[in-house]
Amino acid sequence: MTRIAIIRHGCTSWNKAGRLQGYSDIPLDDEGLSQARKLGQRLASEQWDVVCSSHLIRARQTAAIVAEELGIDSIWQDIRIGEAGGGQAEGTTEAERLAKWGPDWKQMDLGMETNTDVLERGLSFLEDLITTEEGKQIVLVTHGSFIRQILAYLLPEMPPPPPMGNTSVTRLEYANGEWTCHLFNSVTHLEEV
């Protein structure tokens, strides 16, 4: 059995401003760095073998902090688990998109990456991961839209996933060709005691 904790990266200034990030390489802000430390401390009480990260800096920074807390020296980075590309909409807020393109902006050809393309690259990555790292405990740091699309495909019986919290933990297990979810969108490490 292979166990994967899928993590959304920590908070950025664009998250707070409601700006679509996509491929834009926006770093964590101070809150995001703190969230990543709290996540690493939460995961440190368990055994982990591998840390994987999207190539984008907000995921890489989150993964590096988590890996340090876990005592893992190297991080497997892969472009295939990067965020869905937002095309011309990147860097804009919903209000700006509505003002510029109107309420049907999602149906326009703005150069956004298709769900099919996101799934194709994401599933290719997961296939490689479960083959090369079979039976291991894996931390996978990626992005909100990417996670939601992958979960909707792997677990079609689940209700549509809501927006993922920054540094949220979703635990998946893969065994005998089947995916199961044992924890979804958990941010208990961010809750004040």
Res 57: pLDDT: 98
The active-site residue out of 46, 55, 83, 178 is 83
Distance separating alpha carbons of residues 143 and 22, to the nearest angstrom? 9
Distance separating alpha carbons of residues 51 and 60, to the nearest angstrom? 10
Q: In what order do the strands lie in the sheet with 50-54?
A: 75-78, 50-54, 137-142, 2-8, 169-175, 178-186
The reply to whether 9 belongs to the active site is yes
Distance separating alpha carbons of residues 146 and 128, to the nearest angstrom? 17
Overall pTM surpassing 0.85 (yes/no): yes
The active-site residue out of 9, 69, 90, 143 is 9
Res 193: pLDDT: 56
The reply to whether 83 belongs to the active site is yes
Domain ranges of the chain: 2-190
- The CATH number of 2-190, from 3.40.50.2300, 3.40.630.150, 3.40.47.10, 3.40.50.1240, is 3.40.50.1240
Res 162: pLDDT: 85
Residue closest to 161 by CA, chosen among 47, 13, 6: 6
Residues making up the binding site for substrate: 8-15, 58
Res 158: pLDDT: 87
- In tens digits, what is the pLDDT along the chain, a chain of 193 residues? 999 999 999 999 999 999 999 999 999 999 999 999 999 999 999 999 999 999 999 999 999 999 999 999 999 999 999 999 999 999 999 999 999 999 999 999 999 999 999 999 999 999 999 999 999 999 999 999 999 999 999 999 988 878 899 999 999 999 999 999 999 999 999 997 5
Helices and strands of the chain, counted as H and E runs: 6, 6
Determine the residue type at 35. Answer: Q
Q: Are 174 and 130 in contact (CB under 8 A)?
A: yes
Residues making up the binding site: 8-15, 58
Q: Are 173 and 2 in contact (CB under 8 A)?
A: yes
Res 159: pLDDT: 86
